[in-house]
Amino acid sequence: MSNGAAGARHGLGPRLQVRALTKRFPGVLANDGVDFAVAPGEIHALLGENGAGKSTLVRMIYGVLHPDEGEIRWDGRVVRIEDPRAARRLGIGMVFQHFSLFEAMSVLENVALGMDDPGGMAALARRVSEVSASYGLALDPSRGVHTLSVGERQRIEIVRCLLQNPKLLIMDEPTSVLTPQEVERLFETLRKLAREGCSILYISHKLEEIKVLCDRATILRDGRVVAECNPATETKGSLARLMIGAELKTAKRRAGHDPGVDQGSVRLAVEGLDLAAEEIHGVNLKNISFSVRAGELFGIAGVAGNGQKELELALSGERRAKVAEAVRIDGHKAGHLNTRARRHLGLGCVPEGRRGHGAVPAMSLVENVILSGYDRMKLLSSIFIKDGEARRFAKRVVETFDVRAPGTGVSAGSLSGGNLQKFIVGREILQSPGVLIVSQPTWGVDAGAAAAIHQAMADLAADGAAVVIISQDLDELLQITDRLAVIGLGVLSAPLVTSQVSVEKIGLLMGGVHGTAPGSDRSSGSDRHAV
C-alpha cells in the first residue's frame, strides 16, 4: 500500500486511509475490500466506470452510507463516521454529483443548511462574499437557486465546503455539467486549495481531466481496486485499459463516407421553430433552424437546461409547432403532427429520460417494443396485439444489441441503466427510422455500451438515415458527429463542421450565451433554467 509521494514530501502519514472497505447492496457487491490513501495536499483521483463503486466509496467516507466491513483512518486514527455531520466535524467536505441544493431557497439559506454552526445570517453573508472573492467563485448570496446556472450552483456547494475549512474535499464528477472554461476555473480553485494543504479526492471517468489535474489515481473496477498510478505518466489508452479491463473501442464510420460534404437528400428540416416553454423555469425555443441529410450525424451541444429538453419534445412531436412547415420529415410538413403521425413518417426518438419516458419501467420488454413500434413493425391486427410478432421483435432487439436481460418478459425497470439504454436505442434503430432523434445517448452508460451505441448510430446513418444527437458530453459529439450546433438559452448557433472546430470555440459558444464570467452572470438571469 503506497501512501503516495506527496505524503512523504509533507513528512506526514496519510490524511485519509481506507482499509479493506466492503459494502454490499442486495444482489451487488458495490465495494470489495477497497484500500487506498490520500496524503495532505494531494489531489487524488478515483477513476472508474459507472457502477465501479466510486460513489458508494465516497458516500461511506462522507457518512451517508455505512461500510459492512473494513476501517477508515483519519490522521492515523480509526474513525467511525456515523453521518455527514460527523464527517464535517472531522474536516471532510463533499460536493455532490447531483447537487444537494434546494431550488426554492436562496444561496445564503443553502449555504447555511450545509453548515452545522452557521452563526448569524448577516455575518454568514459576509463570509460567503469573502470566500467567494478569494477563490474567484462569484456568488450573490441573496439570489434564489432556481435562477442560477449549473456552474453557479456548483459554486454554492464548493463555497459551503470551504467555509468549514475542510482538510479533505470530495468532488463527485464535478465537471460533467460544466463548460470547458468553467472546468478550467474549477481546476484553478482546486489547485489553490491543494497548495494550501487541503487534500482533494476527485472522482471522474474523464481521463484527460485526471491526467491534467491529479497527483495520483486509484482505479476501481467492479468494486475492487485494480491499480494505483501516477496519471501524468500514463496515456489515456493505458488508463482506459486499467479502467475497463479491455481496449477502448471507438465507433468506426463505414468506408466511403465523407463527413461534412453535402450529400444525400435532406431528411429532417427544421425552419424557424418557435415554441414557448410549458414549465415555469422552462426555456423558450427561438427561431431554431437546421437540416440534416441522409447519412449524417448531427450533434446539438450545450450546457444542460438551455432548451435541449424542449427541442427534443418539439422534434419528437410531444409538443407541436404552431406552423406545419416548422418541421419537415422527408419533405412532408410535420410541425403540426403528433408523435404517432411523425413516427409513421419515419421518425424514431430516444428521449433523455429512460425510466418513464423512453420506457415504461413496470412493463415488460415485449410491451415496451409494442408501445413505440406497433405501427412501423406492424404489431397490431385491427385492435389486437400480435403477440408472437412482438415477442420476436423484442427478442431481435435484445440479441442484436446485446441487452443483458434474462428474457424479454422481464420488466424494463429491472434492467441496469446501460442495458436499458441499449434496449431503447435498439428498439428505435431496428424500426429502421429515416430520422432518429437521440437525447443524451450515453448518459450513465459504461464505456463498452457507449461504444456499442455510438457504432449503432453510425451504422444507421451509413444506411441512409439522418441522426440528431442532443448531448451534454462534448467529447462524444466531437468524436462521432459530422456537424454540430450549440444551443444556448433556446437559440441554436449556426452549424459547424465537427472536424474543423476546436473545443475552445465550442466552449465559447456554450459559455458566451451562458455567461460564465463573474460580471455577465447577472445579466441574463431571468429566463435561464438549469437542471
Partner 1 sequence: MSAESAVLIMLTVISAATPLLFAALGELVVEKSGVLNLGVEGMMLAGAVSGFAVTVTTGSAVLGILCAAAAGALLSLVFGILTLTLAANQVATGLALTIFGIGLSALVGSGFVGVPVVPLPKLAVPGVSDLPVIGPLLFGHDALIYLSILATAGVGWFLTRTRGGMILRAVGESDESAHSIGFSVIRVRYLAVLFGGAMSGLAGAFMSLSHTPMWAEEMTAGRGWIALALVVFSSWRPGRVLLGAYLFGGVTILQLHAQGAGGLGIPAQVLSMLPYLATIAVLTIIAAGPWRGRLDAPACLGKPFRPST
Residues forming contacts to partner 1 in the complex (CB under 8 A) are 63-66, 83-85, 88, 96, 98-105, 109, 112-114, 118, 280
Angle at 204 between CA 198 and CA 206, to 5 degrees: 125
Rounded distance between C-alpha atoms, residue 209 and residue 226, angstroms: 20
**Residue whose C-alpha is closest to residue 215's, from 6, 26, 411:** 6
All three cell numbers of 414, joined, read: 429491472
Residues near 327 by Cβ (< 8 Å), separated by ≥ 6? 268, 269, 270, 273, 314, 315, 321, 333, 334, 335
Instruction: Tell me the C-alpha to C-alpha distance, in Å, between residue 64 and each of 25, 67, 177, 321, 522.
Output: 14, 10, 23, 46, 35
Q: Which is nearer to partner 1, 72 or 329 (CB)?
A: 72
Give, as one character, the DSSP assignment of residue 73: E
Rounded distance between C-alpha atoms, residue 57 and residue 75, angstroms: 18
Q: Which is nearer to partner 1, 64 or 248 (CB)?
A: 64
Sequential DSSP letters for 192-253:
HHHHTT-EEEEEES-HHHHHHH-SEEEEEETTEEEEEE-GGGS-HHHHHHHHHSSPPP---P
Q: Which is nearer to partner 1, 102 or 187 (CB)?
A: 102
Q: What is the CA 10 to chain-centroid distance, rounded?
A: 36
Angle at 245 between CA 244 and CA 249, to 5 degrees: 60
Rounded distance between C-alpha atoms, residue 197 and residue 195, angstroms: 5
Least distance CB 171 / partner 1 (angstroms) = 14
**β-strand 384-385 against 266-275: which pairing, if any?**
unpaired
Q: Which is nearer to partner 1, 112 or 412 (CB)?
A: 112
Q: Which is nearer to partner 1, 32 or 109 (CB)?
A: 109
Q: Residue 468: enclosing H or E segment and its boundaries?
A: strand 466-470
Q: Which is nearer to partner 1, 65 or 139 (CB)?
A: 65
**β-strand 216-221 against 43-47: which pairing, if any?**
parallel
Task: Please say whether the beta carbons of 358 and 390 come within 8 A.
Answer: no
Least distance CB 466 / partner 1 (angstroms) = 36
Least distance CB 313 / partner 1 (angstroms) = 19
Say which amino acid occupies 35. D
Least distance CB 238 / partner 1 (angstroms) = 34
Least distance CB 28 / partner 1 (angstroms) = 12
Long-range contacts formed by 238-243: CB under 8 A, 24+ apart: 239/47, 239/207, 239/210, 239/211, 240/207, 240/447, 242/47, 243/47, 243/48, 243/49, 243/52, 243/205, 243/207, 243/219, 243/447
Q: Which is nearer to partner 1, 113 or 371 (CB)?
A: 113
Q: Which is nearer to partner 1, 27 or 519 (CB)?
A: 27
Angle at 341 between CA 339 and CA 345, to 5 degrees: 110
Q: Which is nearer to partner 1, 62 or 298 (CB)?
A: 62
Q: Which is nearer to partner 1, 84 or 511 (CB)?
A: 84
Q: Which is nearer to partner 1, 157 or 234 (CB)?
A: 157
Least distance CB 120 / partner 1 (angstroms) = 11
**β-strand 491-492 against 483-488: which pairing, if any?**
antiparallel
Least distance CB 67 / partner 1 (angstroms) = 11
Instruction: Tell me the C-alpha to C-alpha distance, in Å, between residue 475 and each of 23, 204, 261.
Output: 33, 14, 22
Least distance CB 112 / partner 1 (angstroms) = 7
Q: Which is nearer to partner 1, 29 or 64 (CB)?
A: 64
Residues near 188 by Cβ (< 8 Å), separated by ≥ 6? 136
Least distance CB 102 / partner 1 (angstroms) = 4
Give the SS3 label for residue 315.
helix
Least distance CB 164 / partner 1 (angstroms) = 12
All three cell numbers of 477, joined, read: 459529439
Task: Please say whether the beta carbons of 257 and 462 come within 8 A.
Answer: yes
Least distance CB 282 / partner 1 (angstroms) = 12
Say which amino acid occupies 331. G
Q: Which is nearer to partner 1, 94 or 480 (CB)?
A: 94
Q: Which is nearer to partner 1, 23 or 514 (CB)?
A: 23
Least distance CB 153 / partner 1 (angstroms) = 11
